[in-house]
């Protein structure tokens, strides 16, 4: 009897091709579509020229997933995790924004929804394994980078533990995106040329500012040049900005290249400085909490990625306690509170944590939260 795999079908090309690969490998494959957001709430996607406004994006994704499953001959199940997503992912997202930090909800979505709620439902359906369309791979029990380094998604899987990864298959780990598109075309899939999803995990492509107004108050405040202490403009709410940002500052008539370098939550100030290499953007260490390791490795030297698709940097680790690690590095730009610091030993992604505090010369940067 063939082993059963339940794969998360998102309605995108990656999960579509992952399902084909699994079926061709001889597994008994079933699809499971997750509905994690009530698309009838705050449907400000209406009017987006990139979307079909006759149907909400989530339902379009379900229809696409259903069409793919029918095409390749596998059943598709559907389940709602709307409450779980709100409780474990969206509430976290709002709390972090309210603190002025820059959260990564996709990481928490993987931790609490795709590799927790989903696994439980897949096991209920009799799965021996679960699978997703992530670009990653498991090698001898270790989570490793995918062949397609540009699409590698181990950064987003860094909060998963050993138990969550135990029965996971990543069919796309050894192929590249162009090949995925080609396979989809060969099978005549509706998702073959479908645009990759963007925006907040499961909430999708929206007018971010309009969307957040439904949940967090919009508090305008001063934009101050940290070098001159001059007020150069007005921000629309600290939650809309991240460290290193240049576009979208709307500083009227100011053609200088000003970059966001910090935030003062207490006084509702957004700090900027001139030039992409100004000293205020750089740090040499940070403290991370929310620590997760997915294997037995506990290095004192490794590499770290501070943003998705950023390059790795050599780092040294000082284990302060069970909950925090001091990460030291040479000057790096735009290390940002709330973002993930993901740790690698060669090709292995061993886990990581969330950036709590950013430092320089062993002092917390006063202009960062």
Catalytically active residues are: 109, 201
Which two structure tokens, joined as six digits, stand for 176?
A: 């590249």
136, HSE (Cβ side, Cα atoms, 13 Å): 22
- Cβ pair 165, 158 in contact under 8 A: no
Residues 6+ apart with CB under 8 A from 102: 96, 242, 243, 336, 337, 338, 339
- Cβ pair 339, 332 in contact under 8 A: no
- Cβ pair 172, 134 in contact under 8 A: yes
Q: Where are the alpha helices (DSSP H) in the chain?
A: 13-24, 57-72, 82-85, 91-98, 105-109, 118-124, 162-165, 177-186, 208-212
Residue 78 Cα distances to 65, 81, 109, 127, angstroms? 10, 10, 17, 15
């Amino acid at each position: 009897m063939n082993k059963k795999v339940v794969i998360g079908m998102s309605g995108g090309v990656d999960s579509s091709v992952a399902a084909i690969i699994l079926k061709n490998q001889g597994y008994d494959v079933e699809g499971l579509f997750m509905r994690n957001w009530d698309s009838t709430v705050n449907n400000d996607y209406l009017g987006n020229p990139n979307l079909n406004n006759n149907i909400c994006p989530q339902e379009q994704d379900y229809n696409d997933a259903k069409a793919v499953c029918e095409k390749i001959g596998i059943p598709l199940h559907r389940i709602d995790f709307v409450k779980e997503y709100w409780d474990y992912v969206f509430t976290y997202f709002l709390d972090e924004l309210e603190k002025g930090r820059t959260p990564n909800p996709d990481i928490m979505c993987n931790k609490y929804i795709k590799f927790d709620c989903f696994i439980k439902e897949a096991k209920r359906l009799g799965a021996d394994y679960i699978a997703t369309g992530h670009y990653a791979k498991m090698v001898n029990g270790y989570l490793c980078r995918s062949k397609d380094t540009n699409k590698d998604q181990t950064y987003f899987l860094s909060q998963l533990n050993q138990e969550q990864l135990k029965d996971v298959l990543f069919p796309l780990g050894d192929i590249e995106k162009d090949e995925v598109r080609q396979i989809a075309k060969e099978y005549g899939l509706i998702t073959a040329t479908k645009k990759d999803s963007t925006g907040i995990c499961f909430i999708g492509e929206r007018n971010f500012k309009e969307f957040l107004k439904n949940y967090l108050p919009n508090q305008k405040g001063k934009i101050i040049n940290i070098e001159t202490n001059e007020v150069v403009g007005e921000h629309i709410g600290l939650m809309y900005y991240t460290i290193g940002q240049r576009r979208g500052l709307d500083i009227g008539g100011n053609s200088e290249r000003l970059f966001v370098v910090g935030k003062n939550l207490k006084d509702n100030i957004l700090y900027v400085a001139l030039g992409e290499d100004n000293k205020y953007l750089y740090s040499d260490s940070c403290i991370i909490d929310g620590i997760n390791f997915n294997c037995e490795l506990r290095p004192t030297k490794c590499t770290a990625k501070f943003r998705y698709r950023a390059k790795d940097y050599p780092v040294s680790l000082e284990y302060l306690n069970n909950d925090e690690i001091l990460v030291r590095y040479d000057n790096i730009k735009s290390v940002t509170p709330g973002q993930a610091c993901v740790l690698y030993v060669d090709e292995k992604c061993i886990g990581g944590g969330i950036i709590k505090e950013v430092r320089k010369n062993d002092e917390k940067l006063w202009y960062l939260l």
